[in-house]
Amino acid sequence: MMVHKAPFSATNHRGVLLPKTAGIDIDYFKFALEPLLRQAKKGRVGDNGENEYTSLPPFMLKDIEVGVPVDEKGEISIELQREIAASYLAIEQYRRDILGKLDTLTEQRIEY
């Protein structure tokens, strides 16, 4: 899944999910939904888990339920969603940084 902050055109391979209620943090839902959507996909999976002709038709989305953090009153908490999303975004950035450093190390040549 990708979060787009600018206009995006849907295609026959990529759809758009838009919140229908207030108090929804898009970044939180990206991280909450992504594993559920991967689990629900249909089609062939290749070696090492790579997608080959997998899809998730729109009619299959309606049955997917996502947990949403609530406050002590039992109401949806945008603050908790943002806090959780910030943690996931930080982990994602650390992962990119580590992979970049690993690439740099593997590309170094040592002559002796």
55: left (phi over 0), alpha (psi -120 to 50) or beta: beta
Q: Which of 12, 61, 18 is closest to 41 using CA atoms?
A: 61
Mean pLDDT, rounded, for 15-26: 85
Higher per-residue pLDDT: 72 or 22: 72
What tens digit of pLDDT does each residue of 1-14 get? 788 888 878 877 77
**111 vs 88, more confident:** 88
Residues with Cβ within 8 Å of 63's Cβ and at least 6 positions away in sequence, in order, are none
pLDDT at 82: 96
In a domain, 78, yes or no: yes
- Write down the pLDDT at residue 43: 66
Q: Do the domain assignments include residue 95?
A: yes
Residue 58 lies in a domain: yes
Neighbouring-strand partners of residue 76: 70
Cβ proximity of 45 and 54 under 8 Å:
yes
Residues 6+ apart with CB under 8 A from 97: none
Instruction: Encode pLDDT of 36-91 as tens digits.
Output: 888 877 666 667 666 666 677 777 778 888 899 999 999 999 999 999 999 999 99
Number of domains in the chain: 1
Task: Tell me the residue range of the domain where 92 lies.
Answer: 26-107
